[in-house]
Amino acid sequence: EVVPTCERYAVRRLPFARLADGDVAFFERLMPGRVVTSEEEVQPFNVDWLKSVRGCSQLVLKPQTTAEVSQVLRYCHERNLAVNPQGGNTGLVGGSVPVFDEIILSTALMNQIISFDKVSGILVCQAGCVLERLNEYLEEQGFIMPLDLGAKGSCHIGGNVATNAGGLRLLRYGSLRGTVLGLEVVLADGSALDCLTSLRKDNTGYDLKQLFIGSEGTLGVITAVSILCPQKPKAVNLAFLGCQSFAKVLETFTTCRAMLGEILSAYEFMDEKCMELVERHLKLSSPVTDSPFYVLIETSGSNSTHDEEKLNNFLEQAMASGLVTDGTVATDDKKIKVLWGLRERITEALTHEGYVYKYDISLPVGKLYDLVTDMRARLGQSAKNVVGYGHLGDGNLHLNITAESYSHSLLDAIEPFVYEWTARCNGSISAEHGLGFKKKQFIHYSKPREAVVLMQQFKAMLDPKGILNPYKTLPSAP
């Protein structure tokens, strides 16, 4: 049983109004049949995917249109009721569930594709569209989404944008800050901001959408997205390789970037502990064994003969120079999916270990694995496992520490050590997961005081009553 977040972390409830019968009646008139009040049905919305934080909301609203979101927020603003926007609830930092009794505003029914332009590759859709569904829709038209992540089967595009999700394709297509062309957002007072442009180039005034990308639902509720989608590559190849040291993982990356250039679309790494957990808990089996490190390299291009030749030249070079000791290559969809599963499902395998302390960090690539080694030495027997994997091509390490159950003393041994270590390397304490509830107090390790003050001023301007996703992203005043 997950302890309510407010108890575990001793948070004080802010002076928001409490839900009354009249409020529920108003919402039921506004969207009959889409207001959830039974404790049993509300429960799943209160607990995060990791089962590490839990809220105490008594009400879930499921709007279908921007107009409904607008009316909900206007009402909540007038009544001073706090709101927790929620997409697929796959976040990893406690940002997607309430801390106290905030009303949950779910985008689950806002799942319509509005338009797709096959010439420009621009997709416009509602925020509640599931990432994998969008990708399937686009593939039929010869395109793909510019982002891909392990949670694709349940995460929503609105949540992806609100958290500026990174994932497995960032190396090739860049971040959502570049591929999102426009947004429709409802502000805290219920006013709708239509910046849903479908233009690649638009230099008229401040780029307001950037404020909401990565704002984790604290500045406005994203209701629709306009996003630039790349053409589906005609040829995709995957190499899954074993390396004997992290230095070789790095050297393999340098070589592969030089030799594969424009067709390189992903470079992921995992340590042997990750592989062991994936095999043990998910019964998956790796075609490459007995390596301290594993590397997954994906190429995507328009000419399979050309791509395969490049990849084979690279592999010959990597094998001959001893960078790689063993490996396998996949060209057909089925085998590619199986190999990606080994990397994508690490997060899932870790949840079978008990309680997971998750850290998502950007570091200079050369120092990436040192943090894992240092943490192993520091924690010794007090942790079950300390593992490292992630998007090496982007300098993004996922450091995960598992224990039988949550322990305050173990947390004290990890934090703030992990953040101090990262700050000394001028890294970021959150590469792609965001700050949510769990990391907001540590923002100063990555941002100067002046920057945090400016963020707080934006929050106060756009959400003067503080009703949107309170207790998240920005540090609470001392």
What average pLDDT does the segment 111-132 reach?
Answer: 98
What type of residue is 81? L
Closest CA to 252 of 365, 93, 396: 365
User: Would you say residue 477 has pLDDT above 80?
Assistant: no
Burial of residue 261, with CB atoms counted within 10 A of its CB: 0-12 exposed, 13-18 middle, 19 or more buried: exposed
Give me the percent of the chain exceeding a pLDDT of 70: 99
Tokens describing residue 63: 């709007």
Q: How confident is the model at residue 2 (pLDDT cuts 50, 70, 90)?
A: confident
**Domain co-membership, 181 together with 102:** no
**Domain co-membership, 358 together with 258:** no
**Domain co-membership, 343 together with 359:** no
Tokens describing residue 358: 């998750």
Between the CA of residue 281 and those of 287, 289, 349, 354, what are the distances in Å? 17, 17, 6, 12
**Domain co-membership, 361 together with 436:** yes
User: Would you say residue 104 has pLDDT above 70?
Assistant: yes
Beta-carbon-side half-sphere exposure of residue 39 (alpha carbons within 13 Å): 1
Closest CA to 100 of 226, 174, 11: 11
Q: Which residues are paired to 327 by β-bridges? A: 241
Range of the domain at 447: 354-466
**Strands lying side by side in the sheet with 103-106:** 35-36, 60-61, 103-106, 83-86
Candidate from 196-200, 229-233, 329-333 with smallest mean pLDDT: 196-200
**Domain co-membership, 315 together with 213:** no
Listing DSSP states for 30-90 in one string gives HSTT-EE--HHHHHHHHB-TTS--B-----EE---SHHHHHHHHHHHHHHT--EEEESS--
Whether 462 contacts 121, CB under 8 Å:
no
Predicted pLDDT at 10? 87
| Domain harbouring 381, CATH code | 3.30.70.2740
Count: domains in the chain: 4
Q: Is residue 473 in a domain?
A: no
| Domain harbouring 141, CATH code | 3.30.465.10
Q: Which residues contact 293 (CB under 8 A, 6 or more apart)?
A: 242, 243, 244, 245, 246, 248, 249, 269, 270, 271, 272
Q: Is residue 471 in a domain?
A: no
Q: How confident is the model at residue 478 (pLDDT cuts 50, 70, 90)?
A: low
What type of residue is 178? G
* Confidence (pTM): 0.94
DSSP 313: H
Strand ranges for 322-466 from DSSP E: 326-330, 355-362, 385-391, 396-403
Q: Is residue 477 in a domain?
A: no
Predicted pLDDT at 3? 86
Residue 308 CA to residue 66 CA, distance in Å, equals 47
Ramachandran area for residue 434 (φ above 0: left; ψ -120 to 50: alpha; else beta): left
Q: How confident is the model at residue 476 (pLDDT cuts 50, 70, 90)?
A: confident
**Domain co-membership, 23 together with 97:** yes
| Domain harbouring 89, CATH code | 3.30.43.10
**Domain co-membership, 90 together with 138:** no
